[in-house]
A and B are shown apart, each in its own frame.
Chain A
């Protein structure tokens, strides 16, 4: 088991290097740099800027410098390396030392904020939205899937699965405005745009206003818009998995023992049927978190997805690189976690 975990983690690191290399090459093969403006800058200024951001070095050296900054942790005594706080992980150690890791560098378009500042401001909002969306997806999807499986080939089953298919097929681009029209403009129940939490956050992403309606009223519509699509996936998976389980022999045994139908469903069937559903939650959360661009744009939520679009228009390469790398870390981590979970559940994979 330990060997398998080490194998997967090593592979995870290789994948991340590969993704960073792809992104870096992609970004540096296109003509036009971040300092190309309508009014041409004087050559000396461009030269200075390029030196400041290491843009005058050859590409391979730029890449190595970037990787060095991101990957290699530093232990320093200084308060901060510069005026700007450039590292994402910054832990104070005893005797005035600091453990600094993941330096994503400066932002080209924002003079006062580094990539790290941007991530620290925007990512928590995306995580909040992603977590609430997942909760909505579970709250809708699980009951729907269970209901459909227990009443297989009845009206309930048909209805539930039709709703699921529609949920998968309605894009957020269409769902968002309709929700805003109904609940934000016509009924005026919920604020149409905005977000109800500001930094600082406790534990990186928990807002101080967690228990107030002020926070939740902003989250309901976007979470629903994202959640329905995923609830459909959860519903389908729950249905399929539960259908497979209730035809197993041990369910028949339980029934033959004379157990109540309710006990059989909750204790014997559901507990086993939910294993695939639980394992998909990790990758699903990573996928949701890295795909929030449209919903954040439509609902005006200050998350990382929305900032990513801004940095695309600004050609803010370090922000683009940093965001993609962070997203890749989430995705890779979630997938490796599932692999390890499966290996733990099923020994055949471990030794396969």
Chain B
């Protein structure tokens, strides 16, 4: 009997630390590659800008902005003659002698609420929606894809057939029906979107990647060393799928924000404020199509959706070059 019997408890922390170090190393390598691509950096900067907007809103509400006037949902400005009013640094239609001010940087909406405040407040929920939908998608797609690739047989057939069916669903029509029949809030939309996107096309993509990893020698080594199926799945297969999963996460964010805009435009979501709701407010009051004069009602929200979506798209493209060696320039 020798004294050097390693129990699991002795080995586990160091192993854990090694793994973390390895993950950090590969992250740094990826980041260095990502950094070379100006497209990805532009996208990241835009995302950070919106993140700043989301964080800044509660701070502004607590300090500079008066609750009664600037609340994004129930605020009202009595000192402005007519709502909607254009940005207050522009000439006002009803005021002959106008002194430009920064009272309402982006104007007010038909209900007398500050557009900038609404825009910033909505940023929070758009981020929450996008990231939650993406997390659900990644969780499902990675698990389902890895399981289908690893176990093959009946599980594979069931999961792939399910993906086939979901791919062929009329996606927007189903979302419209669901949101009209059930009381849909942001979180419900995020989960339903994540479910549909996760079990659909993303599973197929992840599975094809998992198939190529499955035949690698380290998987075989793990099996010979006596690792059981679930151990191999979640410690060897899934971590190697994650870069690709996160890439698809970027595109999910974009699509989730898009579908929120569509559903809000038809007034089918039970939410107080979002970029889609801002456009819908303008439309419901009849200002959307009437004239260019009311551009400030739609333009900020439309621009915000476009910018944030293209930012995630850009980051996704840049990540694509890091994750897919085929696309690298050298």
Spell out A's residues near B (CB within 8 Å).
11, 15, 18-19, 22-23, 26-27, 30, 165-166, 168-171, 173-175, 177-178, 180-182, 185-186, 192-193, 290-291, 293-294, 297-298, 308-309, 312-313, 320, 323-324, 327-328, 331-332, 335
Question: How far, in angstroms, from A11 to B164 measured CA to CA in the complex?
Answer: 10
Query: Residue-by-residue, is B73-113 near A (CB-CB < 8 Å gives 1, otherwise 0)?
Result: 00000000000000000000000000000000000000000
Q: Which range contains the number of B residues in contact with the other chain?
A: 35 or more
Q: Write the nearest CB–CB distance from A186 to chain B, whole angstroms.
A: 6
* Residue of A15, A26, A173, A312 touching B164 (CB-CB under 8 A): A15
Chain B 287-329 interface residues, beta-carbon cutoff 8 Å to A: 288-292, 295, 298-299, 301-303, 305-307, 309-310, 313-314, 317
B181: chain A residues within 8 A (beta carbon): 26-27, 30
Spell out B's residues near A (CB within 8 Å).
164-165, 167-174, 176-178, 180-182, 254, 258, 261-262, 265-266, 268, 276, 279, 288-292, 295, 298-299, 301-303, 305-307, 309-310, 313-314, 317
Question: How far, in angstroms, from A290 to B290 measured CA to CA in the complex?
Answer: 28
Closest CB pairs A-B (n = 7): A174-B302, A169-B310, A327-B170, A169-B309, A30-B181, A181-B292, A290-B170
A23: chain B residues within 8 A (beta carbon): 174, 177
Q: In the bound complex, do residue A171 and residue B305 qualify as a contact, i.e. CB atoms below 8 Å apart?
A: yes
B177: chain A residues within 8 A (beta carbon): 23, 26-27, 312, 320, 324
Chain A residue nearest to B280 (CB atoms) is A173
A335: chain B residues within 8 A (beta carbon): 167-168
Question: How far, in angstroms, from A173 to B187 measured CA to CA in the complex?
Answer: 22
Q: In the bound complex, do residue B170 and residue A165 qualify as a contact, i.e. CB atoms below 8 Å apart?
A: no
Q: Write the nearest CB–CB distance from A267 to chain B, whole angstroms.
A: 27
* Residue of A171, A180, A193 touching B261 (CB-CB under 8 A): A171
Question: How far, in angstroms, from A166 to B165 measured CA to CA in the complex?
Answer: 31
Question: How far, in angstroms, from A173 to B302 measured CA to CA in the complex?
Answer: 7
Chain A residue nearest to B287 (CB atoms) is A177
Q: In the bound complex, do residue B172 and residue A291 qualify as a contact, i.e. CB atoms below 8 Å apart?
A: yes
B288: chain A residues within 8 A (beta carbon): 177, 298
Counting chain A CB atoms within 10 Å of each CB, the highest count among B173, B181, B292 belongs to B173
Q: In the bound complex, do residue A181 and residue B295 qualify as a contact, i.e. CB atoms below 8 Å apart?
A: yes
Given contacts A171-B305, A181-B295, 5 further A-B contacts (CB under 8 A): A166-B306, A174-B306, A182-B292, A312-B266, A332-B168
Chain B residue nearest to A326 (CB atoms) is B170
A165: chain B residues within 8 A (beta carbon): 310, 313-314, 317
Q: In the bound complex, do residue A293 and residue B298 qualify as a contact, i.e. CB atoms below 8 Å apart?
A: no
* Residue of B165, B266, B314, B317 touching A19 (CB-CB under 8 A): B165
Q: In the bound complex, do residue B306 and residue A297 qualify as a contact, i.e. CB atoms below 8 Å apart?
A: no
Q: In the bound complex, do residue B265 and residue A308 qualify as a contact, i.e. CB atoms below 8 Å apart?
A: no
Q: Write the nearest CB–CB distance from A285 to chain B, whole angstroms.
A: 14
* Residue of A19, A294, A327 touching B262 (CB-CB under 8 A): A294
Question: How far, in angstroms, from A177 to B294 measured CA to CA in the complex?
Answer: 11
**Given that A19-B165, A293-B266 are known contacts, is A171 also in contact with B306, CB under 8 Å in the complex?**
yes
* Residue of B290, B305, B310 touching A174 (CB-CB under 8 A): B305
Q: In the bound complex, do residue B176 and residue A293 qualify as a contact, i.e. CB atoms below 8 Å apart?
A: yes
A18: chain B residues within 8 A (beta carbon): 165
Question: How far, in angstroms, from A159 to B171 measured CA to CA in the complex?
Answer: 32
Question: How far, in angstroms, from A19 to B258 measured CA to CA in the complex?
Answer: 24
Question: How far, in angstroms, from A11 to B165 measured CA to CA in the complex?
Answer: 10
B302: chain A residues within 8 A (beta carbon): 170-171, 173-175, 177-178
Q: In the bound complex, do residue A309 and residue B168 qualify as a contact, i.e. CB atoms below 8 Å apart?
A: no
Question: How far, in angstroms, from A174 to B298 measured CA to CA in the complex?
Answer: 7
Question: How far, in angstroms, from A293 to B268 measured CA to CA in the complex?
Answer: 13
Q: In the bound complex, do residue B262 and residue A173 qualify as a contact, i.e. CB atoms below 8 Å apart?
A: yes
Q: What are 30 of the A-B contact pairs (CB < 8 Å)?
A: A15-B168, A19-B169, A27-B177, A27-B181, A30-B181, A30-B182, A168-B310, A169-B306, A169-B309, A169-B313, A170-B302, A170-B306, A171-B305, A171-B306, A173-B261, A173-B262, A173-B276, A175-B302, A177-B289, A177-B298, A178-B298, A185-B289, A185-B291, A186-B292, A290-B171, A290-B173, A293-B173, A293-B262, A328-B169, A331-B168
Q: In the bound complex, do residue A327 and residue B173 qualify as a contact, i.e. CB atoms below 8 Å apart?
A: yes
